[in-house]
Amino acid sequence: MRNFDQNYIDGAFVAVTGDEVVDIVDPATEAVVGQARLAHRDDARRAVEAAMRAQPAFGRTSVAGRVAMLDRLQAAMLAHAGDLLEATITEYGGPVARAQWVANDASQCFGDAARSLPSYAFERRVGASTVVMAPVGVSGLFAPWNSTAGTMASKLAAAVAAGCATVIKPSELSPWQAHVVARAIHAADLPPGVVNIVTGRGVDVGAEIGTHPGVAKLSFTGSTPTGKLIARGAVDSMKRVSLALTGKSASLLLDDADLEAVLPLALAAAFMNSGQACVAGTRLLVPRARMPEVVERIRSAVAAMRVGDPRDPATTIGPMVSRAQYERIQHFIRRGLDQGATLIAGGEGRPDGRDRGWFVRPTVFADVRNDMDIAREEIFGPVLSVLPVDSEDEAITVANDSPYGLQAYVFSADADRARRVAARLQAGTVLINRVAPDLLAPFGGVKQSGVGREFGVMGMEAFLEPKTITTA
Ligand code: NAD
């Protein structure tokens, strides 16, 4: 049994003062594997105050000093990759291959930030003035449960690069993963108060960070409804706000696509992270004439997917994070059936042979219309909707007919044609014939998928503000 009852505040692990204790449940077995005491609003306040004390000196550190800190963070995260792997598998149910990627990716963002920092022009001449890109100030960083370490690390890398002290609020569903990241950060030996971590519920700990007048900037990753609450709460003290929110990504299979080559990519996009991914390509738009062939290929590919023990390297789809998430997915599968979509793989209930664990059957619906719930709402599980379309124009119209616009995918044998299609898609990112993200390029949403960009130099700029100095 693991026990987590400390926050990380002012460079030290200190006892949580909150009195709510939650079980940590292994989603693959439903066994209680630990407990966590959740932080209280007062803990959040102490964390903000520590960051406020650290900010003035940290905001004046040299670029070389911050590069050294980022290098230490990268090394420390790498040194904790094994612990993070264990936590991600046991607490979250992440399949080992994905969990390994998470552990490495979390360290990589610090290295990327360290390498891009020295060439950044913090001071420029504009007109007759000097413009200084100054750190915005104490920053509240919010992470969701489906990407705990990655979100904590990528936001922290950008904030440290910019010179902002931080208070991080991981999800109450991931105290173990958050604790491992906290230990890594502590090992990196940053000045006290530059990083503070309080794991608690959104309604008190999150709300305290989100409205505290000492916090200048909020960088939030999570669902669109919570993002709206964050934005409303931030306005009174005019905090700068970046929101990375819900997605319902479209994958466009153009009529010239080589199915043998690209269908595995489209399925990887749909089922990545066991479907619990904001960027999952869960609306696959297929030329009507190619539907029979696509359906056949999908049937056999999904039949070959391994759902099960996340520790088994052959597993591609692990359990959902919690009973609530399992139930949510079952609800959407029932909605798909009720609204008349054609089930071609999977369906309700657990996979055969499993009576414990929050496992769902990888599920694919064909003949989906874009007005069905399964096409409009983010399911956040391994459920793919296949929509037939009659032309490239219709595919673009259907792709854009969504309140969301995070990441789209285009699959085609003709890269120029794919780029022309990409230009017409309403999405923050379009990946052509690939699924892997470019972690140096800006990432974020349009429409209700968010505001602002993360990653790379533009991600750091979200923590900077231009200050104009004009001399007589
Ligand atoms: P969520 O919105 O429930 O929670 C996100 C974070 O906000 C958590 O730390 C939570 O405790 C906190 N929170 C909740 N209520 C709050 C409140 N009232 N005030 C302040 N903080 C509050 O999201 P989730 O269920 O943890 O994560 C899944 C969602 O995140 C999905 O919609 C997914 O698409 C989205 N997501 C988006 C991206 C992206 O980059 N766009 C990445 C990962 C996940």
| CB-based contact 175:4 (threshold 8 Å) | yes
Pocket test for ligand 1, best of 171, 226, 376 (most atoms within 8 A of CB): 226
Same domain, 193 and 277: no
In the reported structure, the alpha carbon of residue 257 is separated from the centroid of ligand 1 by a whole-number distance in angstroms of: 35
In the reported structure, the alpha carbon of residue 231 is separated from the centroid of ligand 1 by a whole-number distance in angstroms of: 13
- The residue to which tokens 């009852």 are assigned: 5
Same domain, 306 and 208: no
Residue 317 has what pLDDT? 97
3-state DSSP call for residue 425? coil
- Tell me the pLDDT tens digit for each residue of 243-267: 999 999 999 999 999 999 999 999 9
Same domain, 436 and 463: no
Angle, alpha carbons 423-429-431 (nearest 5°): 85
- Tell me the pLDDT tens digit for each residue of 173-197: 999 999 999 999 999 999 999 999 9
**DSSP codes, 157-226:** HHHHHHT--EEEE--TT-HHHHHHHHHHHHHTTPPTTSEEE--B-IIIIIHHHHH-TT--EEEEES-HHH
Angle, alpha carbons 114-168-71 (nearest 5°): 20
Same domain, 187 and 302: no
Domain of 356, CATH number, reads 3.40.309.10
- Alpha-carbon span 345 to 418, nearest angstrom: 29
Q: Please name the residue whose Cα sits nearest to atom 11 of ligand 1.
A: 202
In the reported structure, the alpha carbon of residue 29 is separated from the centroid of ligand 1 by a whole-number distance in angstroms of: 25
pLDDT at 102 over 90: no
- Tell me the pLDDT tens digit for each residue of 1-28: 999 999 999 999 999 999 999 999 999 9
Q: What are phi and psi of 123, to 5 degrees?
A: -130, 130
pLDDT band at 225 (very low <50, low <70, confident <90, very high): very high
3-state DSSP call for residue 7? strand
Element (H, E) at 114: helix 96-116
Mean of all residue pLDDT scores within the chain: 97
| CB-based contact 248:282 (threshold 8 Å) | yes
pLDDT band at 162 (very low <50, low <70, confident <90, very high): very high
Same domain, 212 and 334: no
In the reported structure, the alpha carbon of residue 223 is separated from the centroid of ligand 1 by a whole-number distance in angstroms of: 4
Same domain, 218 and 167: yes
Please give the residue range of the domain that contains residue 53. 2-245+449-470
In the reported structure, the alpha carbon of residue 194 is separated from the centroid of ligand 1 by a whole-number distance in angstroms of: 23
Residue 60 has what pLDDT? 98
Q: Please name the residue whose Cα sits nearest to atom 31 of ligand 1.
A: 223
User: How big is the chain by its Cα radius of gyration, in Å?
Assistant: 22
- Alpha-carbon span 327 to 261, nearest angstrom: 34
Angle, alpha carbons 113-115-116 (nearest 5°): 65
- Alpha-carbon span 255 to 430, nearest angstrom: 18
Residue 271 corresponds to which amino acid?
F
Same domain, 254 and 240: no
Pocket of ligand 1 (CB under 6 A): 142-147, 169, 171-172, 202-203, 206-207, 210, 221-223, 226, 229-230, 244-247, 278, 378, 380, 406, 445, 450
- Alpha-carbon span 356 to 310, nearest angstrom: 14
Task: Give the atom of ligand 1 at the shortest distance from the alpha carbon of 143.
Answer: 9
Domain of 136, CATH number, reads 3.40.605.10
Pocket test for ligand 1, best of 220, 272, 278, 454 (most atoms within 8 A of CB): 278
Task: Give the atom of ligand 1 at the shortest distance from the alpha carbon of 201.
Answer: 11
pTM of the model: 0.97
And the tokens for 433? 């014939």
Q: Please name the residue whose Cα sits nearest to atom 13 of ligand 1.
A: 202
Same domain, 183 and 239: yes
Pocket test for ligand 1, best of 223, 239, 272, 376 (most atoms within 8 A of CB): 223
Same domain, 303 and 178: no
Same domain, 455 and 367: no
Same domain, 206 and 130: yes
In the reported structure, the alpha carbon of residue 234 is separated from the centroid of ligand 1 by a whole-number distance in angstroms of: 16
pLDDT over 90, % of the chain: 98
Residue 105 has what pLDDT? 87
Same domain, 384 and 425: yes
pLDDT at 103 over 90: no
| Residue 166: C-alpha distances to residues 48, 138, 163, 188 (Å) | 8, 6, 10, 15
| CB-based contact 418:275 (threshold 8 Å) | no
Task: Give the atom of ligand 1 at the shortest distance from the alpha carbon of 278.
Answer: 34
Residue 263 has what pLDDT? 98
Residue 98 has what pLDDT? 86
- Tell me the pLDDT tens digit for each residue of 26-62: 999 999 999 999 999 999 999 999 999 999 999 999 9
On the 0-12 / 13-18 / 19+ scale of CB atoms within 10 A, 203 is exposed
Tally of domains within the chain: 2
